[in-house]
Amino acid sequence: MTSSPHRLPVLDALRGIAALAVCWYHFTHGSETFLPGGLLKSSGSFGWLGVEMFFVISGFIIPYALHRSSYQTADYGRFILKRIIRLDPPYLVGLLIVIVLGYTSAATPGYRGGPFEPSFTQVVLHLGYANVFFGYPWLNPAYWTLAIELQYYLLVGLLFSAVAHRALWVRASAFASMACLALLFPADQYLCHWLFLFMLGMAAFQLRAGIIERTQFLGWIILLGVGAWHVGGPAIAITGIVTALLLGLLDAHVKPPLLFFGHISYSLYLLHVPVGGRVINLSLHFLHHTPGKIVALALAMSVSIASAWLLYRYVELPAQQWSSSIRYRKKSSTAPANALSQQPSAPAETAPL
């Protein structure tokens, strides 16, 4: 799998790193009885920060792609449609896999977990990423971030013209409004709590787009980093700052393995818990020493990667192509030239995960 000339290499690298970090965190910490305290378990202690990396990446890539596509607010409905077509097919297949594996596991002799009895309402709410609004648990605990992402898409499509505006006061007003939302509504199951991370990505977009210069970019990084620290703490703030700096400033060759994981990162995120997590759970019955647990970790990662590649190849990639075939309305020839004409391009609205 090679990288398209229309992708930013650092973007794929960061997505790959974020996905692998989240996988390793869930495999090493998903079960309290799988690993004892020690170096192996500690190696995944901060893997959850891959989610925060994904939020910064989304804050960057969505406006970056919209800017290249000459998006206008009148295209809002088409933008949301493109996102649904791009993300829902692999998500729905992943949801089906979760349900099938859930029932299969519960019916297997020797099963020690609780009953798998999702209600009809609980399943249907997944179709709109709406479980959090009605108090129903997610069938896959990783899905909560997808709900945050959807809320972000609904917001950024409306605010894009302000975020990408040439006037500093307009951009600053947009950031100030989002900062107020983050400070006034801190509940972490909703978008507002995470807005400082998304704004860090937006600042990187503005630099790449030529809307701001490096000095102003670094100023925004400091201000937004302080906000992220206040809302989420130092680990989240540092992760967001570093991710934004890399997105905005780094232009480097990326090795094929990281490109590969960048491509399959969304599918890997969807499948690693129901597929790899079951390998870990199964190993609890047979493996009780560290060498065997290392084998189980390697097998869980391998099975997750293989499953993710299949989902990417046969579901996600066709969905991406279908989404890309939907174009925004053609604009007047008098429209201003695209500020990114001299910058490396990105695929139209790639998956964040």
Cα 137 to Cα 30, 48, 128, 268: the distances in Å are 17, 19, 14, 21
Backbone angles phi, psi at 243, to 5 degrees: -60, -45
Tokens 């971030």 belong to 145
Q: How many domains does the chain have?
A: 1
User: Percentage of the chain with pLDDT > 70?
Assistant: 90
Contact between 221 and 56 (Cβ < 8 Å): no
Reported confidence tier of residue 106, pLDDT bands at 50, 70, 90: confident
Cα separation of 232 and 237, whole Å?
Answer: 7
When pLDDT is cut at 50, 70 and 90, the band that residue 336 belongs to is very low
The answer to whether residue 335 scores a pLDDT higher than 60 is no
Beta-carbon contacts of residue 102 (< 8 Å; ≥ 6 apart): 116, 118, 139, 274
pTM: 0.91
Residue 110's pLDDT band (cuts 50, 70, 90): low
**What range does the domain containing 179 cover?**
9-112+140-324
d(CA 180, CA 173): 10
**Taken in order 10, 11, 17, 20, is the CA torsion positive or negative?**
negative
Contact 181, 155 (CB under 8 A): no
Q: Are 296 and 279 in contact (CB under 8 A)?
A: yes
CA–CA separation, 172 and 178 (whole Å): 10
Amino acid identity, residue 134? F
348 within some domain: no
Assess if residue 144 is contained within a domain: yes
In a domain, residue 347? The reply is: no
278 within some domain = yes
46 belongs to a structural domain:
yes
User: Is 80 domain-assigned?
Assistant: yes
Residue 329 in domain? no
pLDDT in tens, 36-50: 888 889 999 999 999
- Domain assignment present for 119: no
Confidence band for 307, pLDDT divided at 50, 70 and 90: very high
Q: What pLDDT is attached to residue 258?
A: 86
Residue 351 — very low, low, confident or very high, per pLDDT cuts 50/70/90? low
pLDDT at 289: 82
Mean pLDDT of the chain: 90
